[in-house]
């Protein structure tokens, strides 16, 4: 903003700002599950539980576990590759990975994933918001695009909870599964199908202790001999989390509808974080939404953390449960505590079935 004699201050031209109707538009979608499906019966053989208890208390029949040696980035690369193919592009400006189970505590997983997808040079960072990670990632990717800092972003939600859940903890071992889901967002117009609309995001850190892995961070380092081995595992106070999940997702969904000046009846599909089928049904009831508008795939995949919303979207799109033009409300709740929701109109997409795990991508 310097003036020179031949350029008076009034002639200053600000850098081009993005057009006010510039929006982030969903243009690619994919899910990917590791091949190993683990049924309730299999878990019942080594844990004091039963298929009936798990199905009636959670709605889950099976989940997928990564093989030993298979890391979150391996799942993320598979989903990311398929999402890029679905979007018909090999190039993005940024790669965002939402995860609670990064390959390592340092560095982030996203640069590694970007590199393996042939996207070296793209901005790459992780989002840590536990099961709300995908919605936080969607907000971050959307902000990059609407601010004019990126034209295309690959967002991946990927988690391998089997690597942090105590296999002998019957309460958590039955809920969580591994998987990855990814979307590609591109710059477009706010009135296009796929335009990602209003967001509600929030947190309450006073509930930190309800969901945590106590050791391994700067608070309680994993120095051999100094850490209770149990503190390296994921811990959750299930009943309290359950209550928060219902009230926070319901309130966040309502707040988003209010921002968008919409009524509950305007929502064609609700795609919540797949925490527990009873939680999802309570949210639908509390919102006053007809039960058939709930999108759920928890029966087949369990709770897959940051992967759960994009995996549910990929499943629903593959089965035509979600159709182009429908108004879709996403809502999530997770550790932190964190929550978030987002509204969008469903676009026409080409994508693959996440349950088709035959053939992996080896860049």
Catalytic annotation, residues: 131, 273, 303
- Residue 29 or 241: the one with the smaller Cβ distance to ligand UT7 is 241
Q: How many Å apart are CA 289 and CA 266, to the nearest integer? A: 10
Structure tokens at 300: 């087949």
Binding segment toward ligand UT7, per CB under 6 A, in 49-57, 248-256, 280-288, 310-318 = 49-57
Please report which residue ranges of 196-303 form alpha helices under DSSP H: 238-259, 277-287, 298-301
Q: Least distance to ligand UT7 from the beta carbon of 280, Å?
A: 10
Instruction: Give the end-to-end CA distance of the chain in Å, rounded to a whole number.
Output: 46
Q: How many Å apart are CA 178 and CA 100, to the nearest integer? A: 11
If one asks whether residue 219 binds ligand UT7 (CB under 6 A), the answer comes out as no
Of these, 86, 276, 297, 338, which contacts ligand UT7 (CB under 6 A)? 276
Per-residue binding string, ligand UT7, 168-187, x by CB under 6 A, is --xx--xx------------
Of these, 58, 70, 142, 338, which contacts ligand UT7 (CB under 6 A)? 58
Of these, 245, 271, 277, 342, which contacts ligand UT7 (CB under 6 A)? 245
If one asks whether residue 351 binds ligand UT7 (CB under 6 A), the answer comes out as no
Q: Write out the binding residues for ligand UT7, residues 77-116 only, by CB under 6 A.
A: none
If one asks whether residue 131 binds ligand UT7 (CB under 6 A), the answer comes out as yes
If one asks whether residue 283 binds ligand UT7 (CB under 6 A), the answer comes out as no
Of these, 267, 279, 301, 311, which contacts ligand UT7 (CB under 6 A)? 279
Q: How many Å apart are CA 234 and CA 222, to the nearest integer? A: 14
Q: Which residues of 186-225 are buried (b: 16+ CB within 10 A; e: fewer)?
A: bbbeeeebbbbbbbbbbbeeebeebbbbbbeeeeeeeeee
Q: How many Å apart are CA 236 and CA 175, to the nearest integer? A: 11
Q: Least distance to ligand UT7 from the beta carbon of 173, Å?
A: 8
- Residue 56 or 350: the one with the smaller Cβ distance to ligand UT7 is 56
Q: How many Å apart are CA 328 and CA 323, to the nearest integer? A: 10
If one asks whether residue 242 binds ligand UT7 (CB under 6 A), the answer comes out as yes
If one asks whether residue 132 binds ligand UT7 (CB under 6 A), the answer comes out as no
Size of the chain, expressed as the number of residues it contains: 363
- Residue 196 or 210: the one with the smaller Cβ distance to ligand UT7 is 210
DSSP H or E run through 332: strand 327-334
Per-residue binding string, ligand UT7, 10-39, x by CB under 6 A, is ------------------------------
Q: How many Å apart are CA 325 and CA 345, to the nearest integer? A: 6
Q: How many Å apart are CA 41 and CA 356, to the nearest integer? A: 22
If one asks whether residue 57 binds ligand UT7 (CB under 6 A), the answer comes out as yes
If one asks whether residue 55 binds ligand UT7 (CB under 6 A), the answer comes out as no
Instruction: Provide φ and ψ at 163, rounded to 5°.
Output: -85, -10
Q: How many Å apart are CA 313 and CA 280, to the nearest integer? A: 15
If one asks whether residue 233 binds ligand UT7 (CB under 6 A), the answer comes out as no
Q: What is the dihedral of CA 329, 244, 231, 55, to 10 degrees?
A: -70
Q: Least distance to ligand UT7 from the beta carbon of 169, Å?
A: 9
Q: Least distance to ligand UT7 from the beta carbon of 251, Å?
A: 15
Residues that bind ligand UT7 (CB under 6 A): 49, 53, 57-58, 131, 170-171, 174-175, 238-239, 241-242, 245, 275-276, 279, 303, 333-334
């Amino acid at each position: 903003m310097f003036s020179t004699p031949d350029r008076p201050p009034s002639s200053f031209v600000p850098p081009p700002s993005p057009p006010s109707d510039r929006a982030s538009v969903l243009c690619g979608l994919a899910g990917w599950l590791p091949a190993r499906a683990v049924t309730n019966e299999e878990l019942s053989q080594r844990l004091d539980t039963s298929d009936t208890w798990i199905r009636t208390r959670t709605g889950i029949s099976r989940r997928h576990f990564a093989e030993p040696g298979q890391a979150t980035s391996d799942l993320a690369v598979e989903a990311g590759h398929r999402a890029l193919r679905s979007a018909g592009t090999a190039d993005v400006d940024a790669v965002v990975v939402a995860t609670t189970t990064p390959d390592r505590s340092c560095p982030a997983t996203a640069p590694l994933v970007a590199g393996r997808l042939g996207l070296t040079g793209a901005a790459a960072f992780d989002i840590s918001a536990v099961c709300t990670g995908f919605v936080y990632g969607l907000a971050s990717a959307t902000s990059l695009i609407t601010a004019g800092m990126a034209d295309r972003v690959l967002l991946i939600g990927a988690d391998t909870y089997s690597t942090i859940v105590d296999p002998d903890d019957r309460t958590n071992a039955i809920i969580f599964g591994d998987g990855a889901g990814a979307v590609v967002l591109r710059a477009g117009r706010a009135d296009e199908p796929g335009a990602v609309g209003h967001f509600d995001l929030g947190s309450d850190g006073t509930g930190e202790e309800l969901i945590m892995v106590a050791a391994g961070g700067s608070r309680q380092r994993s120095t051999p001999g100094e850490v209770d081995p149990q503190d390296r595992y994921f811990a959750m106070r299930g009943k309290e989390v359950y209550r928060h999940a219902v009230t926070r997702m319901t309130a966040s969904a309502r707040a988003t509808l209010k921002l968008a000046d919409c009524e509950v009846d305007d929502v064609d599909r609700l795609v919540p974080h797949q925490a527990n089928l009873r939680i999802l049904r309570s949210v639908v009831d509390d919102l006053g939404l007809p039960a058939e508008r709930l999108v759920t795939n928890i029966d087949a995949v369990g709770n897959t953390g940051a992967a759960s919303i994009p995996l549910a979207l990929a499943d629903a799109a593959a089965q035509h449960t979600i159709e182009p033009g429908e108004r879709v409300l996403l809502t999530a709740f997770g550790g932190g505590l964190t929550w978030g929701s987002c509204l969008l109109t469903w676009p026409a997409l080409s994508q693959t079935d996440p349950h088709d795990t035959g053939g992996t991508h080896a860049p």
